[in-house]
Amino acid sequence: MPSTLLSRRDLRFLLHEWLDVARLTERSRYAEHSRETFDAVLDLAERVATERFAPHNRAADLTEPTFDGQRVRLIPQVKAALDVFAETGLLAASLDSSVGGMQLPHAVSAACFAWFQAANVATSAYPFLTLGNANLLLAHGSAEQVDTWVRPMVRGRFFGTMCLSEPQAGSSLADITTRAEPQDDGTYRLHGTKMWISGGDHELAENIVHLVLARIPGGPAGVKGISLFIVPKVLLADDGALGARNDVVLVGLNHKLGYRGTTNTLLNFGEGVHRPGGRPGAVGYLVGEPHQGLAQMFHMMNEARIGVGAGATALGYTAYLKALAYARQRPQGRPVADKDPTVPQVPIVAHADVKRMLLAQKSYVEGALALVLYCGRLLDEQRTAPAEADRDRARLLLDVLTPITKSWPSQWCLAANDLAIQVHGGYGYTRDYDVEQHWRDNRLNPIHEGTHGIQALDLLGRKVTMRDGAGLALLVDTIRATVGRAWKAEGEAAELAARLGGALDRVSLVTRRLWERGDPELALANASVYLEAVGHVVIAWMWLEQLLAVEAATGPTDSGDDVAFYAGKRQAARYFFRYELPRTGPQFDLLESLDRTTLEMREDWF
Amino acid sequence: MPSTLLSRRDLRFLLHEWLDVARLTERSRYAEHSRETFDAVLDLAERVATERFAPHNRAADLTEPTFDGQRVRLIPQVKAALDVFAETGLLAASLDSSVGGMQLPHAVSAACFAWFQAANVATSAYPFLTLGNANLLLAHGSAEQVDTWVRPMVRGRFFGTMCLSEPQAGSSLADITTRAEPQDDGTYRLHGTKMWISGGDHELAENIVHLVLARIPGGPAGVKGISLFIVPKVLLADDGALGARNDVVLVGLNHKLGYRGTTNTLLNFGEGVHRPGGRPGAVGYLVGEPHQGLAQMFHMMNEARIGVGAGATALGYTAYLKALAYARQRPQGRPVADKDPTVPQVPIVAHADVKRMLLAQKSYVEGALALVLYCGRLLDEQRTAPAEADRDRARLLLDVLTPITKSWPSQWCLAANDLAIQVHGGYGYTRDYDVEQHWRDNRLNPIHEGTHGIQALDLLGRKVTMRDGAGLALLVDTIRATVGRAWKAEGEAAELAARLGGALDRVSLVTRRLWERGDPELALANASVYLEAVGHVVIAWMWLEQLLAVEAATGPTDSGDDVAFYAGKRQAARYFFRYELPRTGPQFDLLESLDRTTLEMREDWF
């Protein structure tokens, strides 16, 4: 029985046959590794995800966390799974060995993490939030902060959160009001309320390390006056032992549509409930310099955004595999050409419309996974490419791709979940099958870590204009290089290359047209449409890349399984180019027309 | 405070300014009515829906029905609301006065029912299923059956169900196996299992009248051997008094993603649990002639399918109004041109991207409501048009529009719900707001009463080919007439008419091309794409109709409210033509290419 979480065959194809991650072992950072160690870690991830995370996915949804005013309670399977996860050391898969990490390439660790996200996205959120926190402190914290906070996180003793939003400031970080008063001893005292804090309270770890955005009084207004602080749930004694409770108080849990196993909290800082030493406020420690909080947080946010895309992809992927398994065993109806009611019914996978729904899912989830792993590969390039120019190039390309890698899977792997329900028919609407939960869980992804609309403004308002358009030019050149290779390959690849080349021309033209008037309001009016269109072009590129990898890998000695696997990749590529890429035509038309429908709509006309 | 269920202003526009339902009172069937009585019934529906149905919508979701092996328990508010509903007589709004009905036009009763569907789709399902059942018996039952079963249903004493599906036969009715053995006394004894039966058990009424599809042994295989039976939960004595339990046994309740307040059941017929009189089997009464069950059921199914579209529309509509109300009061961010963090935040309705999401919702839900009421108007025409040719024309047009009216709102008002969540941001993902429930409830609509795929086959495989294509020709001619009127109107209407005319040409050409090879497998391979494209053309037509009605209604003495209302209609029409109708271009291209991607996909390639 193949796994219904992810496909190892597809991961082998993407990581080895396409991205050739084994070549990374030629670089000093990964010299201790080999293809065998990569595969062994993937084995480990698959096993732990399957045995420890998947089994309580539904239970954690049905019995969501509760708060009785004193303690947060979760079903015990969550902590049991996370303890095993900590033992594996996978949390630190990509971290430096100097802090206890495995120093794996990001492309490989992203594939490992996808197993956990597919198995149980809610339980996985705790370690992945912790990892984001640790990475931020590794980048911007002092050596002492790394020792004090990161090392216990890497070992799974402490968990971490990110505290950005406030009730009146979700998308608009300029409006946060939490304040941090400097103290004589160099620490700060924080006062304020943070909303939507995932993993904000629980008893899964000894301590929770909150990373909090707040204002130091007297600083600039808006985002330029935001600083970053470490605010632990439990203060530490000088020897690192757990001490008194800090003044961080759980006000309540949010009750959500999905992702129910992850506590999501409203937290008060400095309300005086756990007042340490008599002075009011939650004790916080400044990270880096004052007023650099937003830039520091963006470091984490880019990583978190790619992580959101990865989670959306994993949810889409597992639901697709479950829909496929269902379609293969569920008899219903007969072929169009044979209506004889006395012959047995056929499995629904035989129906063209079911194949369409499965092909759509396959093209979405495998396309999205390719993009997520490609971004992982770019992170590795950014970190270890021998030439500085290559590292810069990877960083810039990753900057442009981040909003797309966040948003595209959030939209289209959610659409895949919708199709997975549809393939299941009435059964898919019941809680006896997994797909409805995946759909509910996945609905968070277009919202958190920056909504679609925010990603669209990031892409069109910042990423494609920055450095005089260098980011967009690099993306276009990079895709153009694939188009060029596909041209030379002739056959179907050349045909698809022509279509992708045409769409790429439109990306460049439309972007120029949107900005040529120098009117940001007009340029950005349909930023979401732009994000969607460019996203489809990028995924078409991922499919052309995969098609080229298939053509390079296919040989006369292929096993029957390989022949079928590659045929499936070809058909999914074809599907994406015939059914999906053409959607961008009307989107580009609309953008080119500088449509003002939304701008001209008046509030009182609704 | 305007209602957040539906818009009375929009209903006034659609019913009076556009469909001119008051003119129906010139016909004898509606002669007792007037515009005032129509409006009074709408007032009543709004009030009862608002006061009795809406308040327990969330409670019925959180506390779903339970079955302890003996009794089904629901929260008491459901029965309380339904008792009030029965008292109003609204169930029989469109029925003949001879059976206790109000004899209202269908266009008006559909508008009344939409209030209840918007307020609480799960509680509304009980009477609406009952109404479908009653209508079927009125059309096909004997006078005695009408007296015995329909009259108590009209008064709310009995409720009704439709028992079609079985565990092994959902979409494929040819494969149902429930059998009905004829008895000497003219009754039948039924044996079999029915799945997905909504309202299949409860204690909301004195009795439940199941309409059951079953086979009389010796009849033809497939759909030609299906007959229709009345199978009550409780048998009646000769004087109509409630007697012994019939052998209809609730096996269990399905636990669903949404629509949780409606019991959905697995029922056993004839398992011997309530054996009456010693002879095994559930007592059933044949409706009409043997082997006519499918044709009879289709009568009900067409009505039920339009009802599904109406329910999807109502859910989309209320979520839109709630998103709009939220967007008007939630401050967040600043205009693109003004980033000064010291000025106050603006309500999010001011942002172009939020206006885009609201306009999309408005264009979907108001477009869908127009189609639903238009179908109601066609039902009235079919029933009361003086000329037989007009009645036939209405029947045929309704036949073609039925799969679209079922599917389009199910798809796009669900998309509207998704956007309503997105407008709410993180709050929309919590159960503190209604929109997540509407989204979950609405997800049923693309599944029940025939999935999207089934509707697509119905449209492309049956409705557009029947009577040598007369149905499609009529639809095209009817839309063309609107295009012609819009041409004459000049201005924006003429511009939109040109676009709709172009899309209409493609409908005709593509339909011919799909069928010209006489290969049903190829023609139907992308039937779902066809359904979606034609659906968008039909809704564009509804918007052009509305635009013409706006132009006819607008006058120099309009109040400020009217000016704003009409401007909103214009802008939504514009939105639909600029953002939505162009989606059909690539769909028609794909269909025209007779694409074989799905046909050629092999099961082992997935």
Q: Are A359 and B605 in contact (CB under 8 A)?
A: no
Q: What is the pLDDT of residue B276?
A: 58
Burial of B181 (0-12, 13-18, 19+ CB in 10 A): middle
Token pair belonging to A14 = 């993407």
Q: Give the span between the Cα atoms of A265 and A360, in whole angstroms.
A: 36
Q: Give the burial string for B199-224 (b: 16+ CB within 10 Å, else e).
A: bbbbebbebbbbbbbbbbeebeebbe
Q: Which residue of B has its CA nearest to A256?
A: B430
What element of type H or E holds A191? strand A188-198
Q: Give me the amino acid identity at B27.
A: R
* Residue A89 Rama label (left phi>0; alpha psi -120 to 50; beta): left
Q: Give the span between the Cα atoms of B198 and B185, in whole angstroms.
A: 30
Residue B411 predicted with pLDDT over 90: yes
The three-state secondary structure class of B65 is coil
Strand partners of residue A192: A269
Which residue in B196, B358, B514, B601 has the most chain A C-beta atoms within 10 A of its own C-beta, making it the best mutation to test that interface? Answer: B601
Low-confidence ranges of chain A (pLDDT < 50): none
CB atoms < 10 A from the CB of A234, how many? 17
Kindly determine whether residue B422 and residue A223, on different chains, have CB atoms separated by under 8 Å: no
Q: Which residue of A has its CA nearest to B346?
A: A172
Average pLDDT over residues B597-603: 97
The three-state secondary structure class of B567 is helix
Q: What is the pLDDT of residue A1?
A: 79
Q: Are A257 and A440 in contact (CB under 8 A)?
A: yes
- Which tens digits make up the pLDDT trace of A438-497? 999 999 999 999 999 999 999 999 999 999 999 999 999 999 999 999 999 878 999 999
Backbone phi, psi, residue B110, to 5°? -60, -40
A343 closest CA partner among B130, B37, B175, B447: B175
Token pair belonging to B456 = 């697509």
Angle, CA of B266, B269 and B274, to the nearest 5°? 110
CB atoms < 10 A from the CB of A484, how many? 12
In the set B449, B532, B545, B580, the catalytic residue is B449
Backbone phi, psi, residue A161, to 5°? -135, 170
Q: What is the pLDDT of residue B335?
A: 85
Q: Are A445 and A414 in contact (CB under 8 A)?
A: yes
Q: What is the pLDDT of residue A286?
A: 98
Which residue in B61, B339, B353 has the most chain A C-beta atoms within 10 A of its own C-beta, making it the best mutation to test that interface? Answer: B353
Q: What is the pLDDT of residue B277?
A: 61
Contacts of A165 (CB under 8 A, 6+ apart): A176, A194, A195, A196, A197, B426
Q: Are B403 and B458 in contact (CB under 8 A)?
A: yes
On chain B, the residues whose CB falls within 8 A of the CB of A443 are: 418, 421, 429, 436, 439
Q: Are A16 and A22 in contact (CB under 8 A)?
A: yes
On chain B, the residues whose CB falls within 8 A of the CB of A564 are: 602, 604-605
Q: Give the span between the Cα atoms of A369 and A148, in whole angstroms.
A: 35
Token pair belonging to A481 = 């290089």
CB atoms < 10 A from the CB of B343, how many? 10
Average pLDDT over residues B416-423: 98
Q: What is the pLDDT of residue A409?
A: 98
Q: Which residue of A has its CA nearest to B453?
A: A353
Q: Are A495 and A486 in contact (CB under 8 A)?
A: no
The three-state secondary structure class of A88 is helix
Q: Which residue of A has its CA nearest to B437?
A: A257
Kindly determine whether residue B600 and residue A571, on different chains, have CB atoms separated by under 8 Å: yes
In B221-330, which ranges are continuous DSSP H helix?
A: 293-329
Token pair belonging to B452 = 């999207």
Kindly determine whether residue B254 and residue A430, on different chains, have CB atoms separated by under 8 Å: yes
SS3 sequence of B415-469: HHHHHHHHHHHHHHHECCCCHHHHHHHHCCCCCCCCCHHHHHHHHHHHHCCHHHH
The pTM for the full model equals: 0.98
Kindly determine whether residue B586 and residue A582, on different chains, have CB atoms separated by under 8 Å: yes
- Per 3-state DSSP, chain B is made up of helix, strand and coil in percentages (nearest 5) of 60, 10, 25
Strand partners of residue A284: A188
Angle, CA of A480, A482 and A488, to the nearest 5°? 105
On chain A, the residues whose CB falls within 8 A of the CB of B606 are: 324, 349, 358, 362, 568
Q: What is the pLDDT of residue B278?
A: 66
Q: Give the span between the Cα atoms of A320 and A326, in whole angstroms.
A: 10
A285 closest CA partner among A219, A220, A395, A210: A210
pLDDT band at B257; cut points 50, 70, 90? very high
Q: Give the span between the Cα atoms of B301 and B294, in whole angstroms.
A: 10
Kindly determine whether residue B586 and residue A586, on different chains, have CB atoms separated by under 8 Å: yes
Q: Are B84 and B14 in contact (CB under 8 A)?
A: no
Q: Give the burial string for A282-299 (b: 16+ CB within 10 Å, else e).
A: bbbbbbbebbbbbebbee
ipTM, 2 decimals?
Answer: 0.98
Q: Give the span between the Cα atoms of A361 and A355, in whole angstroms.
A: 10
Q: Give the span between the Cα atoms of A495 and A475, in whole angstroms.
A: 21
Residue B430 predicted with pLDDT over 90: yes
- Which tens digits make up the pLDDT trace of B15-48? 999 999 999 999 999 999 999 999 999 999 999 9
Q: How many CA atoms lie within 13 A of B550 on its CB side?
A: 24
In A70-172, which ranges are continuous DSSP H helix?
A: 76-88, 106-119, 121-140, 143-145, 151-154
Token pair belonging to B151 = 């009259």
Backbone phi, psi, residue A181, to 5°? -90, 125
Q: Is position B381 annotated as part of the catalytic site?
A: no
Residue B300 predicted with pLDDT over 90: no
How close is the nearest chain B Cα to the Cα of A440, in Å?
A: 9
Beta strands in A28-108 (DSSP E): 66-67, 72-73
Kindly determine whether residue B568 and residue A605, on different chains, have CB atoms separated by under 8 Å: yes
Token pair belonging to A511 = 């972007």
Name the residue with higher pLDDT: A15 or B272.
Answer: A15
User: DSSP label at B398?
Assistant: H
On chain B, the residues whose CB falls within 8 A of the CB of A575 are: 597-598
Kindly determine whether residue B429 and residue A443, on different chains, have CB atoms separated by under 8 Å: yes
In the set A46, A449, A532, A545, the catalytic residue is A449
Backbone phi, psi, residue A162, to 5°? -125, 120
pLDDT band at B542; cut points 50, 70, 90? very high
Q: Give the span between the Cα atoms of A587 and A593, in whole angstroms.
A: 10
Q: Give the span between the Cα atoms of B398 and A100, in whole angstroms.
A: 69
Backbone phi, psi, residue B216, to 5°? -85, 125
Q: Which of B258, B431, B527 is the closest to A256 by Cβ? A: B431
- Which tens digits make up the pLDDT trace of B556-583? 899 999 999 999 999 999 999 999 999 9
Q: Give the span between the Cα atoms of A259 and A252, in whole angstroms.
A: 16
Length of chain A in terms of residues written: 606
Q: Give the span between the Cα atoms of A373 and A314, in whole angstroms.
A: 12
